[in-house]
Amino acid sequence: MDDALPPANGADRVAFHALRFITRLCDALGVALLVAILGLIVMAVLARDVLNWGMPWTEEVVSLMAIYAVALGSISAWVRSDHLVVDLFSHRLNGAGLQVQHRVTALISCGFFVLAAWGAWIMAGVSVNNNTVSLGISFSYLYYAVLGSFISMAVIAAWQTLRGPVAWHVEPHAQETTP
């Protein structure tokens, strides 16, 4: 998506720039979280082995940060269609068939994301009073990352269902080279 040219005008141009911004923001925040995770792990090891200080809270913070990094990465991957797909027959479909397949797949994905977001919402509510041992952080914050990720992907999938395939999005089968 970064190499694609934006549409000339209209709603597609706004969507293109919004999705590119979302992707770049999620990527940047995800990388920052991963760097922070690495820094915390190194700090905890050095504090334990060199200074003989125990830092049990780092495990809880690293787990929380890792879940948020994965949630941000999944949003970015969904926008770029980088999630794992099994493409058995898309390359054999014509224009109308590809339109239908794209929209049906996006609609099914949207339904799954809504269902998963609902499950994350329920789990966040159930685990309000369950806290981590060292810092007393509610486990709900873990489920909020999952909830935000699935809501974001559901909104994007709903847009994909309504809009259909876009010209700036290169499908995986279009990237393959023919011998």
Domain ranges of the chain: 11-83+90-168
SS3 assignment for the chain? CCCCCCCCCCHHHHHHHHHHHHHHHHHHHHHHHHHHHHHHHHHHHHHHHCCCCCCCHHHHHHHHHHHHHHHHHHHHHHHHCCCCCCCCCHHHCCHHHHHHHHHHHHHHHHHHHHHHHHHHHHHHHHCCCCECCCCCCECHHHHHHHHHHHHHHHHHHHHHHHHCCCCCCCCHHHHCCCC
Confidence of residue 131 (pLDDT cuts 50, 70, 90): confident
150 vs 11: which has the higher pLDDT = 150
pTM: 0.78
pLDDT digits (tens, 9 = 90+) for 38-56: 999 998 888 888 888 888 8
